[in-house]
Amino acid sequence: MRMDKNKIKLVAFDLDGTLTQHKSKLNAENRAVLERLRQKYRLLMVGAGTCRRIFEQMERFPIDIIGNYGMQYAKYDVEKEDITVVRDVQLPVDREAVEATVTKLRKIYGYTDFKGENVEYHPSGCVTFPILGTKADLADKLAFDPDRAKRRKIYADVKSHFPNYIVFVGGSSSFDMAPAPYDKAYALDVYCRENGLSHDEVAYVGDDYGMGGNDESVYLSDFNYITIDDYRTLEEKMKSLLWA
């Protein structure tokens, strides 16, 4: 689908790899790009983490934030210069079933040697399957699957074992899971319905659009999508909207 730039009212962003280096603060150059964009468009973050974490990583940039794949939503308060969480869904997890399923997958694929906990649980109800364990050494995690080939090879099977979750190839050595139907496309659609926007009035900007990526659902949807493969190219990628 070809984007009609004249229709765009909202520009929505992923964070890590799109606006920032992974787990790093928003740099001055990309902050300046966002400042210019917000003179013309409504801006929105659509993230996998909590709204607070995203807000602080962005150096408290004034923006509304969808967190936890849509389970959380925070609005920026101009007077307070801070965000206020207005939606925070927290769902129960059948830990016994999750533990048993992850243990089964470890045995099938030979990932029985790990450090720390078998599974990481989040307050939202999201779950992480850390292949090397919750206390694995950072160097080991970074070296495990840098091109995601190992995890993509078993991705379909992991998904089939967790039919009540949306499964993502997360970080450097894990699978992240959000309770269905929460993913970024679902979250963005809810936002549009709540704010009277159509999908063709939205441009989404993200880097994690490959198989199992947490931006993939948006990439495969009818939302306009601008691909980023290096956060340092943000200004170049946004030129068409800055000068539309």
* pLDDT digits 0-9 by tens, 60-114: 999 999 999 999 999 999 999 999 999 999 999 999 999 999 999 999 999 999 9
Which CATH architecture group holds 95-179? 2-Layer Sandwich (3.30)
Kindly give the confidence (pLDDT) of every residue in the chain, 244 residues in length, as a single tens digit, with 9 standing for 90 and above: 589 999 999 999 999 999 999 889 999 999 999 999 999 999 999 999 999 999 999 999 999 999 999 999 999 999 999 999 999 999 999 999 999 999 999 999 999 999 999 999 999 999 999 999 999 999 999 999 999 999 999 999 999 999 999 999 988 999 999 999 999 999 999 999 999 999 999 999 999 999 999 999 999 999 999 999 999 999 999 999 998 6
Copy the structure tokens of residue 163: 């039919």
State how far the Cα of 199 lies from the Cα of 217, in Å rounded to an integer: 14
Asked if residue 92 has a cis previous peptide bond (ω within 30° of 0), the answer is no
Instruction: Tell how strand 42-46 and strand 64-67 pair up.
Output: parallel
β-pair partners for 42: 10
Query: Which residue ranges does the chain devote to CATH 3.40.50.1000?
Result: 5-89+183-242
Model confidence, pTM:
0.95
Q: What's the number of CA atoms in the CB half-sphere (13 Å) around residue 225?
A: 22
Query: Which residue ranges does the chain devote to CATH 3.30.1240.20?
Result: 95-179
* Domain 5-89+183-242 class in CATH: alpha beta
